[in-house]
């Protein structure tokens, strides 16, 4: 049975236009500008992004994570190194990120190389996390099957007792990743689905721009 509600649902785009010559020559600088515009427009959690990785069989998987820093080299996020995404990025250090800011009809896609940030940087960020989040990093064997919710909560109680009255150090299995982009695409919603798509690709160490068909 055809779902008419989905088929007939339409949203008309067309807030802005993208002109290649008006974009910054560096895609990270351009991304930073768009990110601040998303913040100013009131987008909730504009640092929310979808992370795609691939396993040894070529099966992709995606999940939502939070970007924590924009650097000249790329974007930084944090996770459990032993999680599914951590294991996949260890074996295949390439990934893709996607930001979608519906409120301003914009999307940014980034593809590139994954590397771990220095331990000192991971330590610095971990020290800023709420205590509960620090404990969770110790407790969660991310992506592993566990017997029950009760098991998880018991692990948390044990961890709370272990670190009671103490600073909580960063666990060695948890830290930061840097995605260094090789390709970045900026998408702006357009009228009648004639969207604007501008792609940056790195060629011989230099960023080149071109317009893609929607």
Active-site positions read 193
User: 127, 37, 111: which is closest to 74 by C-alpha?
Assistant: 111
State phi, psi for 167 to the nearest 5 degrees.
-70, 145
The tokens for 49 are: 């992004």
Q: Are 88 and 54 in contact (CB under 8 A)?
A: yes
**Strand duo 196-203 + 106-116: pairing:** unpaired
- Would you put residue 158 in left (φ > 0), alpha (ψ -120 to 50) or beta? alpha
Length of the chain: 214
CB-count exposure of residue 84 (10 Å: 0-12, 13-18, 19+): middle
Sorted by sequence, the CB contacts under 8 Å of residue 69 that are 6+ apart come out as 75, 76
């Amino acid at each position: 049975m055809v779902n008419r509600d989905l088929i007939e649902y339409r949203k008309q785009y067309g807030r802005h236009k993208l002109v290649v010559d008006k974009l910054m020559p560096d895609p990270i600088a351009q991304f930073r500008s768009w990110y601040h515009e998303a913040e100013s427009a009131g987008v909730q959690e504009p640092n929310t992004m979808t992370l795609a990785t691939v396993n040894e069989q070529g099966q992709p998987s995606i999940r939502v994570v939070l970007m924590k820093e924009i650097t000249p080299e790329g974007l930084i996020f944090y996770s459990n190194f032993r999680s599914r995404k951590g294991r996949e990025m260890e074996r295949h250090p390439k990934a893709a990120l996607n930001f979608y800011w519906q409120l301003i009809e914009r999307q940014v896609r980034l593809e590139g190389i994954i590397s771990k940030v220095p331990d000192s940087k991971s330590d610095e960020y971990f020290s800023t996390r709420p205590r509960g989040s620090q404990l969770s990093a110790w407790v969660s064997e991310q992506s592993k099957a566990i017997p029950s919710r009760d098991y998880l909560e018991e692990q948390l109680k044990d961890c709370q007792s272990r670190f009671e009255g103490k600073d909580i150090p960063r666990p060695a299995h948890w830290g930061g990743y840097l995605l260094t982009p090789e390709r970045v695409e900026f998408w702006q919603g357009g009228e009648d689905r004639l969207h604007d798509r501008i792609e940056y690709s790195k060629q011989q160490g230099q960023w080149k721009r071109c317009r893609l068909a929607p």
